[in-house]
Amino acid sequence: MIDIDDFKHEIECIYKDEKYSVRDNGAVFRYPRDGKRPRQYDNFWTFGKSNDKHGYMEIASVRVHIIVATAFHGPKPTEDHVVDHIDTNRRNNRPDNLRWVTRLENALDNPITRKRIIMRCGSIEAFLANPSLLRESDVTPDFSWMRTVTDAEAQVSKERLLAWAESDKQASGGTLGEWVYGRQSISQNDGQSSNVDEIDKLQSDSLNGWGQIPPRAYERPVEPEQRKPNVMLSLTPGAAQEIYFYNDKPNEYPCTPQEYSGDPLTAYAANLTENAVYWRNNNGDREYVVDKYGFSEDRNSLYVMTKSAYVWQSQEDGDSMPIPIANLNKDEFSESELDYQLGVVVYEDNLFVHKRVETGFMPKEYLEELFIGKKKKIDKN
């Protein structure tokens, strides 16, 4: 446990017209405004409160790492700069773990981030050609291993993550947090009996920066060893999804029938009303809704055109956040900002299996041509 009073340097700064004192362990102290009563978060030292949506530490909705970077590294150089957590631990706000960088510099110059991008996109070149690859799987970051750290823990965790970034190891299974903050030395030799081999015991999704949400407790129609290796159970009972990316996570498919008789896909189609939520990511902050649907000619496949129910909007700190269009006025977004996807549902092994016809974000017109070519319109009469 880190002691909030364990620090060497303390600096005052102004950020967003607020006065702070900032310590080199990542703690901040906010002063009351001149002539005003102290507010809830005034007059005490804090590391901040973690936000489960994005994992950063906050004080009164202001991200602590930006305050610390401003105090120790100066104001934001340009509008294109963001704060990089060098060890990728969003709760390690020690000044030596923070730096101002552009997004491109973050992708290319941070070896840990660089390796994660390669693992998710295939290569840096693929990412540069199509940065939206980092959004395609719509997965949720794993914050479970992240925490405020002592100076010693910061050094150990950074050393271990850099060793992983520089190795050619692929990870599988295990617990990330215990390994990251372990005290054993890390060898960076050719891999013979070194602690780098422990990388093989780590969860690949955690090292990718993305976490696994455990499946909900419900009866599984098919035992895991019987399922196809490219399919995982979804968060919705009775639903499964095809795996496309190295770190895909289970999502929700709210239109999945829970009770039905007769043909399963016909029962599914009955739930596909216009603007019904077809897909929701496992963090619950992104949804796609039904635009149109139809069967294949043999009626063994159900094709579903969907559109995003959110738009990406830039925040003051440079991050982009998904904002539900239901929370916006019509003049605050354009229909052209909505992304479209074409999915297909099949019924296999007593599961509704959800697949994508195309991965990535394709033009609406192109997906509509595919939709027309692959399905036979349902006779609604």
What pLDDT is recorded for position 168? 62
> 151-166 vs 111-121: helix axis angle to the nearest 10?
40
pLDDT at 143: 78
Q: Are 291 and 244 in contact (CB under 8 A)?
A: no
Handedness of CA 112, 115, 120, 121 (dihedral sign): positive
The tokens for 341 are 């996807």
Q: What is the distance, to the nearest Å, from the Cα of residue 17 to the centroid of all Cα atoms in its chain?
A: 31
Q: What is the pLDDT of residue 247?
A: 63
What per-residue confidence (pLDDT) applies to 213?
Answer: 27
- Global confidence as pTM: 0.55
How distant is the alpha carbon of residue 308 from its chain centre? Answer: 17
Tens digit of each residue's pLDDT (9 = 90 or more) over 43-95: 999 999 988 778 899 998 899 999 999 999 999 999 889 999 999 899 999 99
pLDDT of residue 182: 62
pLDDT score for 209: 35
Long-range Cβ contact pairs of 108-117 (< 8 A, separation 24 or more) = 110/84, 110/86, 111/162, 111/165, 111/166, 112/86, 112/87, 112/88, 112/161, 112/162, 112/164, 112/165, 113/84, 113/88, 114/165, 115/164, 115/165, 116/88, 116/207, 116/208, 116/209
Q: Which residues of the chain have pLDDT under 50?
A: 136-140, 170-174, 183-228, 377-381
Sign of the C-alpha dihedral, residues 34, 35, 39, 43?
A: positive
pLDDT at 334: 85
The pLDDT value given to residue 10: 97
- Please give the DSSP secondary-structure letter assigned to residue 141: B
